[in-house]
């Protein structure tokens, strides 16, 4: 049976057909939908872990128990999981273990544009790279076979364009479940130095065997056409090359690490000129040049995403003119949703002119005008640690005007460790946990603080107040982020203290709890003076009529959160139905 599936849906189907037993992941675009689709297969245990390192280790534990295991993450998540990855390369696996890592060329939703292929070389583990949804499914199944045959974790690389585009997929049956039993092999699994030194030799030997395997593997395919130009490529770039250069001969690498140099040499000897077309870093090109293979240079930008048109331009081919709609569309700058629970606290922060060390999540949007209340964002959990760094660097001087801001999921991901550090090292920082009870920006996945699992089943719920008090924080306060005066009062008081403080906001995301949505508000035009105070909270539902010099509310967008009347000094905003 055939179905049209996205790359992520196909990965999920591949996990089913490969008889995977355990999947543990952390959400992150563009990888999120893999695990979200896997949860519908009852044969597979699936979960959201607090971070990618934990997810990786859960999968490795399942492998140790003799079952097939999978973990999925975006490229920056692999940085978090890098620690266990490096040692798992040494221990190897028992049941097959695969890591799907999804890169994000052009950074559609990421803070950097790293190329995950380097991790395969760094960890000395194989990496496969499918080019469409069919291969996404098939390569995942193949990855488990490679994992078990060569006793290694296997990386499978996706990218935004593959994960989110759809092609036809031939579905298969679920294979028999692998059950190798719990492996009790201390020299293999206990990485004390004496054992690790021996395992390093195993890793190097494995790499040679994998290179030999790559030479004969059906994962790599040669398509001979014109011998004038030979292209080496992989992944989604193969699709661009096929369309842009239909007459070129192509060596498509399904296994991008280790690369079979012998295979590339054979291919290069049958074409006049050899090129490498790849996205982001010159990973394959450098591997070939290091092996002494002559590769023609392309004036390619290592930043951003490739396309059919860009590949044509690289080879001086005429680009096909696109039909561009002349329809004028309004700009749609990123913004917090109407009714977002983060807006009030950021408005209060803005009023106090505090320096805000931000983090990864919806609340990063607090940097945009008119809120303009984020001064740095680096990576998951960095807000807490960096706030402490600012504290120590200034001998406490800056703590009176600096706060760290982090979401609930991100705090549990890696922020909690930073708070431990603040307490242990006698810092004075003020940290705000924006608890909206969901992992918002990646699409509203649950986390250990939401009270339900990936399948919506009830689960124990982390209580942030109890948690941070247990860690040793004495100054813990819950605030309603829509109560501006209360937020300002607590903020002013806590940043003055020479002790760590944690402020927890208590409003849910409107997508996590629809019950918070109520009747919309409207502007009483008789009372509106046009002061624009309401527009400074940045709510998309509040609009400005330039001709009338008055604000008005789009009631189809308004969620009735009640924030805007609290900033209106003229009692001009009221709720529908109020008496």
- 3-class DSSP state for residue 183? coil
Percent with pLDDT over 70 in the chain: 99
Residues 186 and 51 grouped into a single domain: yes
Is residue 95 a contact partner of residue 63, using CB atoms and an 8 Å limit? Answer: yes
Is 151 marked within a binding site? no
**How far is 49 from 24, CA to CA, in rounded Å?**
6
**How far is 473 from 160, CA to CA, in rounded Å?**
41
Residues 487 and 542 grouped into a single domain: no
Q: How many domains does the chain have?
A: 4
- Judged against a pLDDT cut of 70, whether residue 579 lies above it is answered with no
Residues 207 and 225 grouped into a single domain: no
Pairing of strands 127-128, 154-159: parallel
- Judged against a pLDDT cut of 90, whether residue 238 lies above it is answered with yes
Is 72 marked within a binding site? no
CA R_g for the chain:
27
pTM comes to 0.93
Asked if residue 336 is part of any domain, the answer here is no
- Judged against a pLDDT cut of 80, whether residue 526 lies above it is answered with yes
Distances (CA, A) of 108 to 30, 112, 119, 406: 9, 10, 21, 21
Is 534 marked within a binding site? yes
Residues 407 and 474 grouped into a single domain: yes
Is residue 298 a contact partner of residue 231, using CB atoms and an 8 Å limit? Answer: no
pLDDT tens profile 266-325: 999 999 999 999 999 999 999 999 999 999 999 999 999 999 999 999 999 887 666 767
pLDDT tens profile 17-58: 999 999 999 999 999 999 999 999 999 999 999 999 999 999
Q: Which domain holds residue 108?
A: 2-216
Is residue 72 a contact partner of residue 23, using CB atoms and an 8 Å limit? Answer: yes
Two tokens at 39?
């949860």
**How far is 51 from 448, CA to CA, in rounded Å?**
11
Is 233 marked within a binding site? no
**Residue 346 half-sphere exposure toward CB, CA atoms < 13 A:** 30
Asked if residue 188 is part of any domain, the answer here is yes
Residues 76 and 188 grouped into a single domain: yes
- Judged against a pLDDT cut of 90, whether residue 446 lies above it is answered with yes
- Output the domain CATH number for residue 538: 3.30.70.20
Tell me which residue of 399, 394, 392, 395 sits closest to 357, measured CA to CA: 399
- Output the domain CATH number for residue 367: 3.40.50.970
Asked if residue 514 is part of any domain, the answer here is no
Query: Would you report the helix, strand and coil content of the chain in percent, each value rounded to 5?
Result: 35, 20, 45
Residues 406 and 538 grouped into a single domain: no
pLDDT of residue 487: 97
Q: What is the DSSP string of 114-159?
A: --THHHHHHHT--EE--SSHHHHHHHHHHHHHHHHHHTS-EEEEEE
- 3-class DSSP state for residue 71? strand
Distances (CA, A) of 494 to 403, 434, 504: 10, 16, 12
Residues 9 and 134 grouped into a single domain: yes
Is residue 88 a contact partner of residue 60, using CB atoms and an 8 Å limit? Answer: yes
Tell me which residue of 10, 18, 212 sits closest to 96, measured CA to CA: 18
Find tokens 């696109």 and name the residue: 322
The pLDDT confidence band at residue 165, using thresholds 50, 70 and 90, is very high
Two tokens at 525?
């035009």
Asked if residue 328 is part of any domain, the answer here is no
Residues 201 and 299 grouped into a single domain: no
Q: What is the mean pLDDT of residues 252-257?
A: 98
Distances (CA, A) of 231 to 258, 295, 321, 365: 18, 10, 24, 42
Tell me which residue of 10, 2, 3 sits closest to 133, measured CA to CA: 10
Tell me which residue of 243, 223, 235, 174 sits closest to 7, measured CA to CA: 235
Pairing of strands 430-434, 402-407: parallel
- Judged against a pLDDT cut of 80, whether residue 96 lies above it is answered with yes
The pLDDT confidence band at residue 578, using thresholds 50, 70 and 90, is confident
Is 509 marked within a binding site? no
């Amino acid at each position: 049976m055939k179905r049209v599936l996205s790359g992520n849906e196909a990965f999920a189907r591949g996990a089913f057909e490969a008889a995977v037993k355990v999947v543990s992941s952390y959400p992150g675009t563009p990888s999120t939908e893999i695990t979200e689709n896997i949860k519908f297969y009852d044969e597979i245990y699936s979960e959201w872990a607090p971070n990618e390192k934990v997810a990786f280790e859960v999968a490795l534990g399942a492998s140790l128990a003799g079952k097939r295991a999978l973990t999925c993450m975006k490229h920056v998540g692999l940085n978090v999981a890098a620690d266990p990855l490096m040692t798992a390369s040494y221990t190897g696996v028992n049941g097959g273990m695969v890591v799907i890592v999804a890169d994000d060329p052009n950074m559609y939703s990421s803070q950097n544009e790293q190329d995950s292929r380097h991790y395969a070389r760094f960890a000395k583990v194989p990496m496969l790279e499918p080019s469409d949804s069919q291969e996404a499914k098939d390569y995942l199944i193949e990855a488990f076979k490679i994992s078990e045959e060569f006793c290694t974790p296997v990386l499978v690389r996706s990218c935004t364009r593959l994960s989110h585009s759809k092609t036809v997929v031939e579905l298969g049956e679920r294979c028999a479940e692998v059950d190798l039993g719990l492996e009790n092999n201390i020299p293999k699994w206990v990485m004390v130095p004496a054992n690790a030194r021996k395992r390093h030799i195993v890793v190097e030997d494995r790499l040679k065997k994998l290179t030999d395997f790559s030479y004969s593997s059906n994962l790599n395919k040669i398509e001979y056409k014109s011998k004038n130009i030979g292209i080496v490529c992989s992944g989604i770039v193969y699709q661009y090359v096929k369309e842009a250069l239909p007459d070129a001969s192509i060596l498509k690498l399904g296994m991008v690490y280790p690369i079979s140099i012998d295979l590339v040499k054979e291919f290069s000897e049958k074409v006049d000129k050899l090129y490498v077309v790849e996205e982001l870093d010159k990973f394959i090109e450098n591997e070939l040049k290091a092996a002494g293979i002559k590769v023609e240079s392309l004036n390619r930008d290592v930043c951003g995403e490739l396309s059919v048109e860009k590949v044509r331009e690289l080879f001086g081919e005429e680009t096909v003119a696109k039909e561009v709609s002349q329809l004028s569309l309004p700009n749609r700058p990123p913004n917090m949703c109407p009714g977002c629970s983060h807006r009030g606290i950021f408005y209060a922060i803005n009023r106090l002119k505090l320096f805000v060390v931000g983090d990864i999540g919806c609340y990063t949007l607090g940097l945009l005008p008119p809120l303009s209340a984020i001064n740095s964002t680096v990576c998951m959990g960095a807000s807490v640690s960096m706030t402490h760094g600012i504290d120590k660097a200034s001998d406490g001087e800056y703590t009176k005007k600096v706060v760290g801001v982090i979401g609930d999921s991100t705090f549990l991901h890696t922020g909690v460790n930073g708070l431990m550090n603040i307490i242990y090292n006698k810092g004075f920082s003020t940290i705000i946990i924006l608890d909206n009870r969901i992992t918002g920006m990646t699409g509203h996945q649950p986390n250990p603080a939401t009270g339900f699992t990936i399948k919506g089943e009830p689960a124990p719920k982390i209580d942030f107040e109890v948690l941070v008090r247990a860690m040793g924080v004495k100054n813990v306060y819950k605030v309603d982020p829509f109560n501006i005066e209360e937020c300002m009062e607590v903020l002013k008081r806590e940043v003055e203290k020479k002790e760590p403080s944690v402020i927890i906001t208590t409003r849910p995301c409107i997508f996590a709890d629809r019950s918070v949505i109520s009747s919309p508000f409207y502007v009483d035009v008789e009372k509106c003076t046009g002061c624009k105070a309401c527009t400074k909270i940045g709510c998309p539902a509040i609009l400005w009529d330039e001709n009338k010099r008055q604000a008005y509310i789009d009631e189809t967008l308004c969620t009735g959160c009640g924030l805007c009347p609290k900033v209106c000094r003229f009692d001009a905003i009221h709720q529908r139905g109020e008496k």
